[in-house]
Every structure is written in structure tokens, then in C-alpha cells.
Structure 1
Amino acid sequence: MATTERDPLIPKNRTNCSNETEPGSLGPHDISTSMRYGILAGVWTATFLSSINMTLVPTMLPSISSDFQKSHQASWLGTAYLLATCTFTPLYGRLSNVMGRKGAALTAVSFAGLGTLACGLSNSMELLIFSRFIAGIGGGGVNTMATIIVSDMYTLRTRGLAQGVASVFNGLGLGFGGPLGGLITDWLGWRYAFLLQLPLFCISATLITINLRYVTKGKSKSVSEVLKRIDYFGSFTLLIAVGSTLIFLSTKYNSDLPWSDPAVITPVALAVSFFVLFVLVELYVATEPVLAPFLLRQRIPVLVGISNFLVAMCNFAITYFFPMWFQTVMLTSASIAGLHILPNSISMSAGSLFAGWMMHRTGKYKIINLVFGIFPFIASVLIAQIHENSGWIQSWFSIIPLGFGNALVFQTMLIALLAHLPESHMAVGTGFGQLFRGIGQVGGVAVSSAIFQSFLGKELWRHLGDRPDAPELIKQIRQNARLVATLPKDIQRPVRDSYAASLKAVFYFSAASTLLAYIVRLPIPEKDLDSRPRSNSLPPPLPQGGIPGAVANTQVGSESQGSSASITPAISDIEEDSDEVQDEVPSPRVLPRPIKRRLSTYESIEGGMDLESRRIGGSARDTGVSV
């Protein structure tokens, strides 16, 4: 093979060429097809299980709360999982560089598997909630590691297709979680819905252990340097702030405590204090903040973040409470109630694919959002209008526009955000939007649960308050939703009406959230996706009279060219931050190899921070960009 002017004068690692045939020394693009498929099978199996666990619980809530007689705490089974996912997901990007891809992936799978096992063996509601939190720590990491590993093994040109296949596994998990949870609960009991997942977790861990042996080449930071840049304090303050908010909603509205009660005042004070502390940490303390401060001063990222928050609230409020309608009002089985969520998950996959196809074909996103972004509001209103005599079309298919529209909104808003940011800030931008989306997921379950319990208590007292045994009867009904089907006819009718009115309040809240999100998105302008500035584009033509092979120092959005004196710092910065193996530059006259995207950058629809570089992939501390 002929040499070129790009090759170093003295080849490096000539003596180690024999090692290239060993699996352990191969890069992610050099592994065999069977090894690649084995890795994907392992991580996507874990992704499927993680998605199942997000939608598994809603159809099991009546059975679980009946066993423990704590229906008013049942919403914590969902919020605990989402709280852990929201808080710990950003940390796995750094862990993948400290522990390696295999170590971080196995850590995530282990947390998810152990948490799921503990859920199946729990003997109290408190232990079950804690186990769900442990499973959520792993569940968020599974999705993160799947994204990083796919980014390792596929080029930018084929990565979209690979992520599309990954979304199928995610959609299958979200779609079948509810039906499987209900079916297994009716057949074997709710504990087996958790325990039957363990063999698949073992298969996933085995496939990852055997096949995930590639190495990411290049210069990396030391373990101590990477660990110092993890935003521990920011993650901790966010966890306490969101957790205290959830405790406040639970104690105030689920337990009907007065505002003067210390159990209400204390979590409110903690939530406010730690939220302020979180903002201060992100602004002034954290080296790599979870929440990129400079984006808060820009209009488009803030609007996208608010939209993500509101849309996620709507999506999870309906996902968690729509099956309860069929169990408590229509008195169907848990399995049939869970099946009503399946059309929503299928339409979510269709919406994601449609949005990607349309944006790829037209290069536009605003008109798609304007037309289809109103679908979730229409679906929420249709669901709120449902009643016992509604036909099968409204009962089964009114939720379809919700999933289709929400998936499309998330896709288009991500592209809208990235289109208004330099390419060097893609990772920070996706992480910013994902953080708001995660908080919205938690808030959707917590706030809707508070609304539901508040309305349910008032409705039950209105219908049953004149009975001598009203206090005890109402307490039992609120703590045991499955009790509705066993009540005498004279009591069952008003109880079903109370559940119907309370659930409709949740559905109207969801409709208001998604309508507000639609209004928030209206000021976001259209932008041609083909005209986006690229920070990593090829160098401009040489200036007349310049040194042959030299590269002028350029920046995004600037047409000025630096002098030859600025060439060396620019090259050294790229070499220091890049995770790709760079050939040594034997002379300033040699053109450096075009920079590729960093293999370790956590940069995808799932969002995340750039791992090491402050230049390639962007830094959350960077303030040199305006939108």
C-alpha cells in the first residue's frame, strides 16, 4: 500500500501489529459481525426489559395495593423508578470511560436485575418502592449504554438505522409492559411479573460479557480526572429536590394532611432549598453540570425544555391512569386493562419513524409539528370524554393520536434544538432536553396521582359521607382499588362514579398540559436543516500565499481567518481532546486528518453530556455560543 503525505514518517506501534488480530485489541469498527450482533442482542435485551419496567406497574397497581393495603402509596412504584432514572442516567456516560463499556453496561444490567429481583421478593410496600428505585438506577443506565455502544460501532451514516432498530425494542417494551403485567398478574400473581424477567437479565449479562470486548482507541483522561468532572453534588441536590416534591404531593394530597402538619411543611422546605442549591451548583460549582447553564439564557433551548416537560407529564399521566379506568369503572381484568395501552405504544413507534422520514425528506420540522403536534390534545380530550357506554372504537383507539403525536413532538423538538446550536454542542443540547423530559415523566405520575387522590377523596365523601361507617369504608376503598368489584351494588355504583370523576380530572389535566406545550412551541422558528453550521467541517481553501498544507484557525459563524501563528494551538487542541487515534504531525506543513466524531461522546436522542472534550462535542460550561 502506497504511502501518502498524511502518513507519519515513522509508523507507530509497528511491533504490535500482530495484536490487531486479537479480539481484545480490536476497535468497535473492526469486530466481527457475529460479535457485533451478540453485543446488540445483549444491550437491546436489557433495553427491552428496561422499557417493560416503565409500563409494567400501572396494570398491577390494584393487585399490589390490595396485598399491602396501601393504595395511597401505590403511585410511588412508578415515581421511584422514574426518579432514579432521571437522576442517575447522566452519570453513566462518565462511568463508561472510567470502567470501560463492558464494566458500565454490566453495572447497569446488575442494578436493573437486582432491583427487579428485590421487587418480586418484597414483603412490604416500602421495600417494594425502594427496590423499584434500585431497578431505576440500572434501567436508565441500560438505555444510556445502549446508545453509547451503538455510537461506538456504527458510523454517522448508518447510526440512524441502528437507532431505529433500537427504538423498535424500546417500543415493544413500552407496548407489552402493561398487557404482560396484567396477564401475569391475573395468571400467576404480580410477583411473577418481576421474577420472570430474571432469566432474560442473565442472558443479557452473559451476551455482554462474552461479546463486548472491543476497545475504544485514542488518548483518554485518567480515572481521577474523569471522576472529578462527574457532577455528584448536582445529581444529589436534584435527587433531594425532586424527591422532596414527591413526598410533599404524597403526604398533602394522598394522605389528606393539613398544610400546618410538619409532614407537609418539611418536604416543601427541603424541595425549595435543594432546588435553589441545585441551580447554584449548576451555575457556579459543577465542572460538568447536568443542566447546562448557558442554555438557560437562550430562547430556543428554554422553549424546547418546557415543551419536553409538559409533553412528558401528559404522556405519563395518561399511561399510568388510563388502565385504571377499565379496572375500577368498567370492572375489567388487569390483562384487558393493560391491553388498552398497546395501541399507544405502537403509534409511538409509528410517530417516531414518520417524523424521521419526513424531516429527512423535506429538511423541515415546524410544519410537521404544527399539523401533528395537536394530536395529543385531541386524544386527551377524547379520553376525557369516555364513559361506560362508549363503543369499542373510542375505548381502544382514542389513545392512538396521543402516542403518535407525542413521539413526533419529541423527535422534532430535538432536531429544532440541535438546528439552533453549533454541532459542537449537540451532546449538551440533547442532555438539556432530556433532563426536562425526565423531570416531566416524574412529575406526570406524581402530580396526576395527587390530583386523582384529591378528587377521589372529595367524591367518596360526597357520595358516602352520610353513612355511619363512612371514614373506615372510604379509607379501605382508597387503599384497595380492587375492592370496587366486590362491593355491594348499592355502594359499588357511587364508588365507580367517584373513580370515573377522579380519573376524568387527570385526563383533563393531561389535555391542558399538552395544549400548553403546543402553545409554547409556536414561537420556535423554522430552520433549514441543510444550512446548519458545522464546527467540524473540512478546512477552507488555503489563503493565497499561505503555507501549503496549513490550516487557518476558524470558528463557527466566523469568516475571518487566523494567521499562521494560530495553526499550532488549533491542532494541539484537537489532538488533546479527540478520542480518535491521531497520527503524529511530523511537520506544520502536513494537513491534519479530518476530525471524526468522538467515539465516547454520549450524543443521541436519549441525550447526555460530552464525556471529556471541551471542544469536540461541547462542554456544558461553554458560554461562547448564542442562539
Structure 2
Amino acid sequence: MSTSTASESSPLLADTHLKPSKDAETRQLGPLEIPKATRYSILLGVWTATFLSSANMTLVPTMLPSISSEFQKSHQASWLGTAYLLATCTFTPLYGRLSDVMGRKGAAQAAVLFGGLGTIACGLSTNMEMLIASRFLAGIGGGGISTMAAIIVSDMYSLRSRGLAQGVASVFNGLGFGVGGPLGGLITDCSSTNAQVGLENGIFGSSAAVPFINLLISVNLLISVNLNYVTPGKGKSTVEVLKRIDYLGSTTLLITVASTLIFLSTRYNEGLPWTHVTVIIPLILSVAFFILFILVEVFVAREPILAPFLLKQKVPVLVGISNFLVSSCNFAMSYYFPMWFQTVMLTNAAIAGLHSLPSSVAMPVGSVFAGWMMHRTGKYKMINLTFGILPFIAGILIAQIREDSGPIQAWFSITPIGFGNAVVMQTTLVALLAHIQESQMAVATGFARLFGSVGQVAGVAVSSALFQFVLEGELRKRIHGPDSEEMIKRIRQNTRLVETLPVDQQRMARDSYDVSLKVVFWFAALSTLLAYIVRLPIPEKDLERTAEESGQDQISQQRIPGLEDSERRR
């Protein structure tokens, strides 16, 4: 048996798939047999979908203050983010299972369809309730798109090359994040010139949905025509597929997370007392259904979305906790960093969105760098430890930002978060895949995405609760008088009101927002520090594994009969 080694002359995305054998023409090919042109067409399809999903996700943060202000519901603004993330966290782990029983094509098409329909519905929404429901629908597809992209890349590349391939994928992800924020701000600034027309024609306007529909059709065509390789475990009938879905686990998880979000919203965003029925009941439900979710996953579900066998292994658990904390940091910053510039510096939405651009640019750079380093060295731990501390440093810098801070701190202090956390996410995914059998790859990817998705929800929901709780207290310290309660309520419900206030009241409101948002920034910094500590025990493992170590022999025999020794070339 021989193993290949990487050198400086090796191609970055090595051709690790198997060349088709003569009998391949008469049967469906496995992911390692497909021609290079087909493989690149598949990647173009799934990565374009990733770009659209990322842009969709980051449109909202910069539009969030203005949209919610139009409806006089800024204190409920976090639901525009948490509705999307609630769906993502509930349905994302299903795609790992669905991709095994439905095939990669069916699961990918379902994700693109839900994401597209949800985004179009967002564009046509005319009230807060419709927009929140549309964001939930979009989240069902958004989480699936990112999960399926990771699974498909892992199918078509060897373990050592996966990190680099995922790094290239992050370029599309980063482009989406980079475009979404400024685009959302631009749409907000344009629509604010005629708010009533904007509401009548939908938040984004129906014309904005046209190019998205065209891209959606193109992505579906690329996936439908090219994503036809064979993987083991695909269901033979629709009935078999439906039987293998963990409905009870998904439902209990959905109720658990939704109840937690309602509790945080009513207690801290609405400011209701602990004894209020809409506070205590969601809290009780969240605890009860969390316990029920665990019992279902361990004792009832035929193919549980949580994959309890992974909870018995150290590396998957550590990777999952790290993903949770890193995602909390990322989403707390992405939702509230632009708000600081809108409410404290009084910049317009487009400029506020541009302040997140350096992080969005650094993200794909960090992913490609991590992938290239792992491809070149076959190691991941030292890269993780070296660059994984950068987000914590960035969090401290952001928490120290002031109105008179220079342009370097205002524009580039967020950059290490994008770069460092991108390195972390790439290296931890490869670390996870290096410690499991190849046959468990899709389920493990969904497992890791589940923790990350819950972290996204926590990042937005917890930071929103902290922000609103502190904001109310800070406003009460500064604003007094017979109409103080009404003024505090108006400032909390309409962030755009700040710039229209008299100079003295505006100063008090800006200072209150400044203190409240700094609490969120410290929360994000603490999350990423804890994530760094959690990753310390993850052991190093040589990525140049043999087929026997990864269990690939057995999978190759199931997937590509007659080529059982082919994977030993890795």
C-alpha cells in the first residue's frame, strides 16, 4: 500500500476521484469516479446556492432596525433573525439523514426549493407576521444548503483535500455574506425615501425577487443534471424515506427552541415579570420538551437527528460545543455590530452594513488558508490553536470602540473574527471527520451543523435579551419626567427615532445604545474565548489515513463494486 504526500508542487484541489472503469459506462458512478467536468458542475451548483443562502442571511441584520421600526416593533426585531435560525437549527440535522435515504440530489433540491420560496416570500411580505413566517420558511432551506454543500464536497474529495475544497466553498459563502449586508443597507436607504410604497409592495419589492428566481432555476438545473452519483443507504421508495425521518425528534426540538425564544423575548424584550403567564409557561415548556427530546433521541427514534452514538465520543462533543460557541459569537456580532453604527454614530444603513464587509472578506481568506495548510501539512491542531485566539482579541477591540475611534478600529477590528473563526470551523470539521468512520460522514456533518445552528439561535436570542434588558435600564437612568415611560418605549421600538430626537434626548439615547451594545460585544468575546478553551483537548491526527482506518474499504465495496481497493490510493 502506498500513500500520496503533498508537496509545494501539488495542485491545491488535487484530482482525488477515481478514473471511471470500462464498466462505469453501463452503471451509475460513485462520487470518486465521476468525471472532472461533472464534479466542477456539481460544485458550481451547490456553491452558487451557498452564495444565495449567505446573502439571504445577511440581508436582514442591516435592514433589521429600519424594517422593525416601520412596524413600530423594534423590541421584537430579533424575531426576524431567530425565526430563520429556529428553522435552521430544527431542520438542518435532518439533511444529513435525508441525504442518505433520499440521495444527495433529492436532499439538495429540497433545500434549494425551501430557501428560494422563503426568500421570495420575504420579498413580498407586507407585515411583520408575514415576514417572520417567510424567514422561517427560508431557514428550512438555508441550513440544508450549507449542510448539503459540506456533505457533497466530503463525498468527492479525500480527507486531506476536503479542508481545501471546503475553503474554496467558503469563498462563495464569504461573498454572500459580504454582498448581503451592504445590499440590505442599500435597499433600506432607497426604500426609506417612500416608506408607504415600500410596505405596500413588500419589504424588498417584487422586482428584487426576479433575479433570485432566475438564479434558483439555474442552480436547480445544475444539481438535477449533474448530481447523480451513487451513495450507500439510499431509500428504495418514498414510504421508506418517510419512515426514516425523525419526526418526533424534530418536533420536540422545534418546541424546545421556540419556547426558549418566547421566554427570552417576553421576559427581556417585552420586560414582563417572571410571574406573568407568557413568561413562566414557555420556560416550563422549554425544559419539559428538552428532556423529552433527549428521551426520544436515545430510546425512540429509529434514526435520531442527534445521533446519540456521537455523544459518547470525545471529539464530536468537543467540536459540537465549539461550533455552538463560535456560531454564537458570529451571529451576535453580525446582527449587532452594524446597529452600533446606525444608533450611536447615526450612519445610514448602507454604510453600517459595509462595516461588516472586512469580516466577510476575511472569512473566505481564512477558510482557504486553513484548507491549504491542512492539505500541505496533513495537520490541523496547531493551525486551530494559533489562529483560533484571534476572534477573542477582536471581540475585545470591538468592545472598546468609541465615537472618536479611528478608521482602523472602526473598519478593521472585526476582521480577525471572520478570519479566525473561519479557520476554526474548517479545522474542527476536518478534525471531526478524521475521528469517525467514513460511513458516518453525512450524519456527523449534520451533528456538527446542529450544534452550530443552535449556537446561531443562541447568539441572536441571548444577545437580544441582554441588549434589550440593559437598554431599558440605561434609558431609565437617563430619561425622567412625566412622559419618560412613553419616550423609553418609543426609543426601544423604533431605532430610527434616535436621529430625529432633540439634541439632549438624542445624546441620552445614543449613550444608552452604546452601553447596551457593548454588553453584546463582551458576550461575543466571552463565547469565542470559551470555544478556544473547549478545543484544547481535541487531539491531533494525521490526515493521511489508510482506507482501513477510515472504514472506507467497506463503503467502497457497497458504493463501487469491483473497486474495493481503489481508496487505498489515499
Pairwise TM-score range, normalised by the shorter structure? 0.7 to 0.9
CA displacement 1:39-59 (0-9 Å, x = unmatched): 544433322110011111111
**Structure 1 residues 582 and 369: alpha-carbon distance in aligned structure 2, compared to 1, 3 A threshold:** closer
How far apart are the structure 1 equivalents of 2:552 and 2:110? Answer: 39
**Structure 1 residues 176 and 470: alpha-carbon distance in aligned structure 2, compared to 1, 3 A threshold:** same
**Structure 1 residues 418 and 38: alpha-carbon distance in aligned structure 2, compared to 1, 3 A threshold:** closer
How far apart are the structure 1 equivalents of 2:36 and 2:386? Answer: 42
1:48 and 2:51 matched: yes
Q: Which residue of 2 aligns with 1:515?
A: 529
In the alignment, which of 203, 208, 211 is matched to residue 215 of structure 2? 203
Q: Does the CA-based 8 Å contact 1:35-1:211 persist in structure 2? A: no
User: Which amino acid counterpart does residue 513 of structure 1 have in structure 2?
Assistant: S
How far apart are the structure 2 equivalents of 1:303 and 1:97? Answer: 25
How far apart are the structure 2 equivalents of 1:416 and 1:159? Answer: 11
How far apart are the structure 2 equivalents of 1:344 and 1:270? Answer: 37
In the alignment, which of 484, 488, 504 is matched to residue 502 of structure 2? 488
CA displacement 1:507-533 (0-9 Å, x = unmatched): 111111122222222233334444688
Say which SS state the counterpart of residue 88 (structure 1) adopts. helix
CA displacement 1:525-572 (0-9 Å, x = unmatched): 334444688445698xxxxxxxxxxxxxxxxxxxxxxxxxxxxxxxxx
In the alignment, which of 352, 360, 364 is matched to residue 337 of structure 1? 352
Q: Which has the higher contact order (CA 8 A, sep 6+)?
A: 2
Q: Does the CA-based 8 Å contact 2:45-2:222 persist in structure 1? A: no
What pairs with 1:369-448 in structure 2 (closer than 5 Å)? Answer: 369-448=384-463
**CA shift at 1:133, angstroms?**
0.2
What pairs with 1:23-422 in structure 2 (closer than 5 Å)? Answer: 39-96=42-99, 101-150=104-153, 162-188=165-191, 191-192=203-204, 196-209=208-221, 212-214=224-226, 215-217=228-230, 220-223=234-237, 224-422=239-437
How far apart are the structure 1 equivalents of 2:552 and 2:506? Answer: 71
Q: Does the CA-based 8 Å contact 1:307-1:521 persist in structure 2? A: yes
Q: Does the CA-based 8 Å contact 1:184-1:193 persist in structure 2? A: no
Q: Which residue of 2 aligns with 1:569?
A: none
User: Which amino acid counterpart does residue 135 of structure 1 have in structure 2?
Assistant: A
For structure 2, the residue ranges without an aligned partner over 5 or more in a row are 1-21, 193-197
User: Which amino acid counterpart does residue 431 of structure 2 have in structure 1?
Assistant: A
User: Which amino acid counterpart does residue 203 of structure 1 have in structure 2?
Assistant: L
Q: Which residue of 2 aligns with 1:623?
A: none
TM-score w.r.t. length of structure 2 = 0.86
**Structure 1 residues 426 and 213: alpha-carbon distance in aligned structure 2, compared to 1, 3 A threshold:** closer
User: Which amino acid counterpart does residue 245 of structure 1 have in structure 2?
Assistant: T
Q: Does the CA-based 8 Å contact 1:373-1:408 persist in structure 2? A: yes
CA displacement 1:137-189 (0-9 Å, x = unmatched): 12122233434555566677876655433221111001221111101211245
User: Which amino acid counterpart does residue 136 of structure 1 have in structure 2?
Assistant: G
In the alignment, which of 512, 518, 522 is matched to residue 498 of structure 1? 512
Say which SS state the counterpart of residue 481 (structure 2) adopts. coil
**CA shift at 1:444, angstroms?**
0.2
Q: Does the CA-based 8 Å contact 2:395-2:417 persist in structure 1? A: yes
Q: Which residue of 2 aligns with 1:603?
A: none
How far apart are the structure 1 equivalents of 2:231 and 2:139? Answer: 32
How far apart are the structure 2 equivalents of 1:211 and 1:432? Answer: 24
Q: Which has more helix, going by share of residues?
A: 2
User: Which amino acid counterpart does residue 49 of structure 1 have in structure 2?
Assistant: L
How far apart are the structure 1 equivalents of 2:418 and 2:507? Answer: 32
CA displacement 1:65-84 (0-9 Å, x = unmatched): 11110001110111111111
**CA shift at 1:495, angstroms?**
0.5
Say which SS state the counterpart of residue 405 (structure 2) adopts. coil
Q: Does the CA-based 8 Å contact 1:423-1:536 persist in structure 2? A: yes
RMSD over aligned Cα, in angstroms?
3.0
Greater Cα offset, 221-230 or 76-85: 221-230
**CA shift at 1:238, angstroms?**
0.9
What pairs with 1:555-574 in structure 2 (closer than 5 Å)? Answer: 574=554
How far apart are the structure 1 equivalents of 2:191 and 2:260? Answer: 35
Greater Cα offset, 130-139 or 187-196: 187-196
Greater Cα offset, 206-215 or 236-245: 206-215
TM-score w.r.t. length of structure 1 = 0.78
Q: Does the CA-based 8 Å contact 2:165-2:371 persist in structure 1? A: no
How far apart are the structure 1 equivalents of 2:40 and 2:537? Answer: 43
Q: Which residue of 1 aligns with 2:8?
A: none
Q: Does the CA-based 8 Å contact 1:39-1:207 persist in structure 2? A: no
**Structure 1 residues 46 and 426: alpha-carbon distance in aligned structure 2, compared to 1, 3 A threshold:** closer
Percent identity over the alignment? Answer: 65
**Structure 1 residues 298 and 488: alpha-carbon distance in aligned structure 2, compared to 1, 3 A threshold:** same
**CA shift at 1:270, angstroms?**
0.9
What pairs with 1:585-604 in structure 2 (closer than 5 Å)? Answer: 593-594=564-565
User: Which amino acid counterpart does residue 493 of structure 1 have in structure 2?
Assistant: R
Q: Does the CA-based 8 Å contact 1:241-1:271 persist in structure 2? A: yes
Q: Does the CA-based 8 Å contact 1:116-1:195 persist in structure 2? A: no
How far apart are the structure 1 equivalents of 2:211 and 2:405? Answer: 41
Q: Does the CA-based 8 Å contact 2:102-2:241 persist in structure 1? A: no
Say which SS state the counterpart of residue 89 (structure 1) adopts. helix
User: Which amino acid counterpart does residue 518 of structure 1 have in structure 2?
Assistant: Y
How far apart are the structure 2 equivalents of 1:504 and 1:447? Answer: 14
Q: Does the CA-based 8 Å contact 2:164-2:375 persist in structure 1? A: no
1:582 and 2:561 matched: yes
**CA shift at 1:377, angstroms?**
0.9
Greater Cα offset, 425-434 or 328-337: 425-434
How far apart are the structure 2 equivalents of 1:140 and 1:263? Answer: 29
Q: Does the CA-based 8 Å contact 2:93-2:447 persist in structure 1? A: no
**CA shift at 1:580, angstroms?**
2.0
Q: How many residues align?
A: 535
CA displacement 1:383-402 (0-9 Å, x = unmatched): 00001000001000111111
How far apart are the structure 1 equivalents of 2:70 and 2:559? Answer: 55
Q: Which residue of 1 aligns with 2:487?
A: 473
Q: Does the CA-based 8 Å contact 1:28-1:216 persist in structure 2? A: yes
How far apart are the structure 1 equivalents of 2:453 and 2:128? Answer: 24
Q: Does the CA-based 8 Å contact 1:359-1:365 persist in structure 2? A: yes
Greater Cα offset, 148-157 or 205-214: 148-157
**Structure 1 residues 41 and 385: alpha-carbon distance in aligned structure 2, compared to 1, 3 A threshold:** same
Q: Which residue of 2 aligns with 1:451?
A: 466
**CA shift at 1:242, angstroms?**
0.8
**Structure 1 residues 309 and 537: alpha-carbon distance in aligned structure 2, compared to 1, 3 A threshold:** closer
